[in-house]
Structures are given as C-alpha cells and as structure tokens.
Structure 1
Amino acid sequence: MQTAHEELPKPVLIGRSSSHFTRVTRIFAAEMRIDYSFRVVRDLMSSAPEDYGGNPALRIPTLQTPRGIWFGALNICRELWRQSSHRPRVVWPEDLDEPLLANAQELVLQAMATEVTLIMSKAAGVNDTNAHHAKMRKGLVNMMSWLEENARPALAALPPHRDLSYLEVTLFCLVTHLEFRDVLPTAPYSELNKFCQQFATRASIGETPFRFDT
C-alpha cells in the first residue's frame, strides 16, 4: 500500500514527437507544470493495441496514470489540468457557445484528422489521383481558407481572462504541423501565421518542438 509521503509514479504519455495531437498534450503538460515520461510509438502501422498504450483505436496519444488510461488529446489535456496544482484558467471546447468559435474548433480538429489521414494514406502508397484522397485534400484546403478568414474574429471572441484555450493550442499545432510534414504550404495564410508567431512566444512551445523520433 502506498503511504501518504510516497510520490505517485509519473504519468506516461505515449505518442510521437512528430504528431500534432501528441504535441497538443505536451503543450498542456508544460502549461500545467506536469512532469511525465514519454514513450514513443515506433511503428504507426502496428495493429497491436499495446503499442498504443492499450488504445483499441490504434491511435495516439494515450496517457497512463495511477487513475487509469486516457485515450485521445482532449481527454488527456483534461486529466493533466485536473492533476495540476495551480489549475490555470482554460477555455475548453464546451465553453465555445457561439457559432464562430464552435465552428472554428470543429474545423481545426477536422483539419487535424484529415491531415493524419492524408499522411497515412501517402505512407501506404495511395495515389494522389485517388478520388477520396483528392476530396480530403480539397476539404483541407477549404477548412484552412475558412480558418484564415475567421481566425482573427474567433480568437478575439475568446474570454479575455484566460490563461490558455484548447482552440489556440490545437490551431497552433495544426498550422505548424502542415508545414512540418509538407502537407500544405502555409505561406498564403497570413492571419494564421501571425497568430502562430505570437503564440510561439510561450515557453511551452519552445519546450515541445516537432521532430522525428530516432
């Protein structure tokens, strides 16, 4: 039995340093000041749930804690917030009760998921002329155009007395990941790039760069 003075084991985050969904959780961990161990998923073509920390969806990230296992970025970020001793003021997706903000969050997450599908399809040898692949890419371009047009008013509509929002973290990870993985050039998106430059001044961003795990 664990005594009161014994420390609980550190949470274990399972993912990849090149993953935007994983980076979302790493930014939150840094912002929440949560120490954790990081386990890299080496083979994303693996069909074994244990390689993904027990996630039956065969996806990353996963967080293993003394309370149990958490699947997915949003679940993980909520648990990191609950574990935080200083509990910063976070704006969560359910707090976005106006169409502009709610749609912005929805499209950011849809774009992130679409990007993953495009990357994995390419790795599997799917041809760019495949009709479904072409539709996904068109959808991604449409979503990025919408976000470029609406980013400024959406971000301005966020509650001013916040320390962080899930929308800002996911938007930053999406835009910077597109360029990192050479999925879509981001130079045309001036408003989104301006936001990323400002958001990148946070210490948590410098602590969690995208890179390919070796």
Structure 2
Amino acid sequence: MSALDKPVIIGRSSSHFTRIARLFAAELGVDHSFQVVRDLLSTNPEDYGGNPALRIPVLKTSQGVWFGALNVSRELWRRSNPRLRVVWPEDLDVPLLANMQELTLQAMATEVTLVMEKMAGAGEGTTHARKLRESLLNMMAWLEENASAALAALPPERNLSYLEVTLFCLVTHLEFRDVLPTASYETLNRFCQQFAQRPSASATPFRFDV
C-alpha cells in the first residue's frame, strides 16, 4: 500500500486537537500512519502538511489534504466500514448541547493560545493572558455545571459523538500541559474516567514526541 493510499495524520502526540483525529481513527478502525510536526513555532506551511493556518491536525489522502480536527474526523468516518453512528456538531440542535460543544472547542482554542504564548516566552501576567485564563476558568465552570445534563441528552443509540471526544481531550489535556488543575471538576473527571476505558483512549495517550 502506497503512502497516499494509506491516510497520514499529521500532528503531535501532545496535541489535544490531534488526539481527536487519532481517537476517531482508532474508534473507526481506519488504518493510517502518523507524521509528527517537530516545531510548532515553524512558519513554513509544509511543516503542517501544507496547512496555511500553520495548525494541526492535517490528514493527507490520495484525494487531497484535510485541514482541522473536524474535517479529518469526518473524512476518517467516510473511509470507515462499517460506519459507526456518530453524533456530529450539526446534530446538536438544542441550546444546551450546542453550547456544550461550542464552549468545549473555545476552551481548547484558548488553552492552545496560553500554551503557545508560554512557549514563545510571553509573560503570564499580561492583561491578555489574564483575560484568557479567566475566560478558560469561566468556560470550565460552565462545562462542569452542565456536563451531566448535556451528556444525558445525547442520542442513546450513538456509538460516539464529537462532543464526547472533544470534551475528553480538553479535560485530560489541561493537566497534561499544566495549564489548569482539574481535580475540582468532579463531573468532568467522572466522565473522563469512564471514557478512558475505551480502547481508543488507551491507544492514544498524550505524550511528548521525541
């Protein structure tokens, strides 16, 4: 099988957005290879699989290149057989579920900004950094308060949902990157403990690529 016949996920094992894609690949049983982006401060799009946004993950296939975790996850699902019953963001048509997904993704993006600013040597005491951290704390408090009701409202016949995957990746990544202690988020931690029992979760642990 040639490299283009076998999808290539481009990203980092320490990235929560990359883990979304890798979790979906594992859940769906899609054979693929993994290409590590070595320098997240690189400004060369080719280091990110050609993504002009200089972001990961990226999926390289014989049909072309897919940018971003949601695009990658959808394409992996389309390549899977049989296709699992996946609840996608557009299926969340009530405010609670839609807002749960939105704030999960916003929290993930905010965390990335905090991590990247730290990597670039920016101080954590700037006005912008303080606002980002306050925003993250607000979102985590909302997610903790609403997680039980939101997860219970997901369609029971699903095999997987994008919301569950992203929420798991967010909460577990906060401690991994020492961005925010999560011990106080009892509901979110309980959900993560349950989700972590899935083989796809144990197959895609966060780690720093060497």
Check whether TM > 0.5. Answer: yes
Alignment-derived partner of residue 134 in structure 2: 138
Alignment-derived partner of residue 105 in structure 1: 101
Do the aligned partners of residues 32 and 131 (structure 1) sit closer, same or farther apart at CA in structure 2, a change above 3 Å counting?
same
Do the aligned partners of residues 118 and 40 (structure 1) sit closer, same or farther apart at CA in structure 2, a change above 3 Å counting?
same
Alignment-derived partner of residue 15 in structure 1: 11
Number of equivalent positions: 210
Of the three residues 151, 156, 160, the one matched with 2:156 is: 160
Alignment-derived partner of residue 196 in structure 1: 192
Are the counterparts in 1 of residues 49 and 58 from structure 2 also a CA contact under 8 Å?
yes
**d(CA) in 2 for partners of 1:115 and 1:68?**
29
Q: Which has the larger radius of gyration?
A: 1
Are the counterparts in 1 of residues 101 and 163 from structure 2 also a CA contact under 8 Å?
yes
Alignment-derived partner of residue 96 in structure 1: 92
Alignment-derived partner of residue 51 in structure 1: 47
| Cα distance, 1:114 vs structure 2 | 0.3
| Cα distance, 1:126 vs structure 2 | 1.1
User: Structure 1 vs Structure 2: percent identity of aligned residues?
Assistant: 71
Structure 2 unaligned spans of 5+: none
Superposition CA RMSD, Å: 1.3
**d(CA) in 1 for partners of 2:129 and 2:198?**
35
Output the amino acid matched with 2:189: N
Alignment-derived partner of residue 110 in structure 2: 114
For 1:16-35, what aligned pairs fall within 5 Å after superposition? Answer: 16-35=12-31
TM-score, length of structure 2 as denominator length: 0.98
Matched, 1:178 2:177: no
TM-score, length of structure 1 as denominator length: 0.96
| Cα distance, 1:8 vs structure 2 | 6.5
Are the counterparts in 1 of residues 4 and 61 from structure 2 also a CA contact under 8 Å?
no
Do the aligned partners of residues 86 and 8 (structure 1) sit closer, same or farther apart at CA in structure 2, a change above 3 Å counting?
farther
Alignment-derived partner of residue 206 in structure 1: 202
Alignment-derived partner of residue 63 in structure 1: 59
